[in-house]
Amino acid sequence: MISKEDIIKRFVSYVTVDTESDPESDTTPSTKKQWNLANKLAEELKSIGMQDVSIDENAYIMATLPSNVGHKVPTIGFVSHFDTSPDFTGANVTPQIIENYDGKDIVLNEEQNIILSPDYFEDLLLYKGQTLVTTDGTTLLGADDKAGICEIVSAMEYLIQHPEIKHGKIRVGFTPDEEIGRGAHKFDVSAFGADWAYTMDGSQIGELEYENFNAAGAKVKVKGKIVHPGYAKNKMVNSMLIANEFIQALPIHEIPQETEGYQGFFHLYSINGEVEETNLQYIIRDHDKGHFQARKDLMLGIVKDINNKYGKEVIDIEIKDQYYNMKEKVVPVMHIVDIAEEAMKALDIRPLIKAIRGGTDGSQLSYMGLPCPNIFAGGHNFHGRYEYVPVESMIKATEVICKIAEITQERAK
């Protein structure tokens, strides 16, 4: 049985290390402070008995748990990221342990009146009677994805301590900069050497995901002309008003706050404008490849129409694909999803198979030749002050890792 006290101790030791990544940086890792946890993890893997522990010049960590059976078994991997989101501060994280949660409001910070309430976050009620780890209301927690790291390390330690559990070769990998979309950019799939892997980076207990968004980013630049407003008749071109034309030309309901499930969206996340120039930044998301292309084509068409209206190039757009739906790479090897589903059912966990409304390292890794579905790590309300994780979910995720290893070995006989 995985020890609750050990899981909490390990998890707290990770989240109290600030590893916030920085999208404006061009280094890897994007922040020097990520090295603090990276080096700690490399040493910890050695201390629990993992072999071939390596950490490269970009802070990517890999390690091996050798097979303990005589027959050939596919090599499987487990991957998590150690950076935290720049959306909210990850400095000076002070975790709070809530034993035997009673289903009522949790006061995260009495002085600032910050309350984690099931009236707003209904999923809290799923964990009544369990032990929760929360923030103190002033930082994020970092369960995304230090819960995943905690589970992988704990599972490897458990398998080392319990050789009666038979398994093939297991590889583990920890990456920087996932939160800024670069977690897999310098991941050496060949050196990792796994036949397939799983990212431990999902949320609610039971989540099992092998579909994610196709994703692109769009930068829209609108050019205007500033003249004295008192004498602007037929001379001034206000870039902000033209930018507004572009915004209004997109489907008004196809935005994050009005979509769910398999519905895609356009998300305007940045505006910076003056009369002379306005810049818009969008992300484009859709699970369906055809719909994804249609969204990009729509944006290009709107730009063309606006330029035709003004008789000159007042607006320019640059669209870059970011990642693709891993479904295309996982469906041909669906047995890897079946194994994870079987492992959950064996542990009395109800699998929640659904599409990710986002992306993971697993998406990029799948297109790099390492099919990589995503499994729950247990946390909720990522990237903000209301983040929490049930300890029991982390224990279950740890057990799922062990069971996947066991089932993979059994199937290989």
Give start-end residues of each CATH 3.30.70.360 domain in the chain: 214-322
Q: Model confidence at 395, in pLDDT bands (50, 70, 90)?
A: very high
pLDDT of residue 273: 97
Rounded CA separation 171/154 (Å): 14
Question: What fold characterizes domain 214-322?
Answer: Alpha-Beta Plaits (3.30.70)
Q: Model confidence at 301, in pLDDT bands (50, 70, 90)?
A: very high
pLDDT digits (tens, 9 = 90+) for 20-36: 999 999 999 999 999 99
Beta-carbon count within 10 A of 361 CB: 29
Mapped onto helix, strand or coil, the DSSP state of residue 395 is helix
* Buried/exposed 297-329: b ≥16 CB within 10 Å, e otherwise: ebbeebbeebeeeeeeebbebebeebbbbbbeb
Q: pLDDT at residue 1 above 80? A: no
Q: Model confidence at 2, in pLDDT bands (50, 70, 90)?
A: confident
**Is 2 or 290 the better-scoring residue by pLDDT?**
290
Token pair 């966990």 in the structure block, residue: 349
pLDDT of residue 41: 98
Give start-end residues of each CATH 3.40.630.10 domain in the chain: 4-212+325-412
Q: How is residue 49 written in tokens?
A: 């008995």
Domain 4-212+325-412: homologous superfamily in CATH: Zn peptidases (3.40.630.10)
Q: Model confidence at 361, in pLDDT bands (50, 70, 90)?
A: confident
pLDDT digits (tens, 9 = 90+) for 171-191: 999 999 999 989 999 999 999
Which residues make beta-bridge pairs with 265?
A: 285
**Rounded average pLDDT over 68-88:** 96
pLDDT digits (tens, 9 = 90+) for 341-354: 999 999 999 999 99
Q: Which residues are catalytic?
A: 83, 178
